[in-house]
Amino acid sequence: MAGKFISLEGVEGAGKSTQVSFIHDCLKSLGKTVVVTREPGGTELSEKIRNLLLEPSPIAMANDTELLLMFASRAEHISQVINPALHRGDWVLCDRFHDATYAYQGGGRGIQRQRIQQIADWTLRGLIPDLTLLFDLPVELGLKRVIERQGTTDRFEREKVDFFKKIRKSYLQSAKAEPNRIKIVDASLSITEIQKQLTQLLKPLI
């Protein structure tokens, strides 16, 4: 059977990275070959672009530059990793994909959805995840977790709470617009409760 494409999304500190390994193990135990990857990043070149995007720097970056770098990283990632894996029949588990661009560069930075859509049409050429898990929790709780987890913060994590509130709102709007693909996971619950939700949400795909 053909592979499936699953993306994980959410504001900072939503715990997606922890759950990637849980989902990976679930799928592996069912005999699936799974490629775990992330955005921005996922290839040697895309990881270099990731560094440019995430490294705190005294040099300001224009919003459009940020947007285009996200898509440059994505174009490389799609052609080198995602498409080849799906063509082989593997499953792809991607920590963030294009919904993050609508949420962060659209909701957060204020770039019009329509402008993002134009570049997305051009770059994705119809590639859309089969399932997107949106790890949702109050922004303040997520940011608290980030600070507790690590001493340093990246270029995005240095933004103000309001920026992340806009991102969360934008993610929730996307979920409302595409309820069949984007499923909300209550990320404020315990790890066991979250994993119960994930097991239920993965069932229809398997």
The residue ranges that bind ligand TMP (CB under 6 A) are 12, 38-40, 70, 96, 100-101, 104-105, 156
Whole-angstrom CA distances from 169 to 59, 82, 88, 134, 174 are 28, 28, 36, 12, 9
Minimal distance in Å, beta carbon 150 to ligand TMP? 10
Minimal distance in Å, beta carbon 29 to ligand TMP? 26
Minimal distance in Å, beta carbon 203 to ligand TMP? 26
Cβ proximity to ligand TMP, 26 vs 52, nearer residue: 52
Cβ proximity to ligand TMP, 32 vs 154, nearer residue: 154
Helix (H, G, I), strand (E, B) or coil at 178: coil
Beta bridge partners of 92: 5, 35
Cβ proximity to ligand TMP, 47 vs 130, nearer residue: 47
Cβ proximity to ligand TMP, 130 vs 157, nearer residue: 157
Contact between 164 and 139 under an 8 Å Cβ cutoff? The reply is yes
**Spatial separation of the C-alpha atoms in residues 167 and 78, rounded to whole Å:** 24
**Spatial separation of the C-alpha atoms in residues 35 and 127, rounded to whole Å:** 16
Residue nearest to ligand TMP (CB): 104
Minimal distance in Å, beta carbon 96 to ligand TMP? 4
Minimal distance in Å, beta carbon 60 to ligand TMP? 16
Cβ proximity to ligand TMP, 105 vs 170, nearer residue: 105
In a 10 Å sphere around its CB, with 0-12 CB exposed, 13-18 middle and 19+ buried, how is residue 162 labelled? exposed
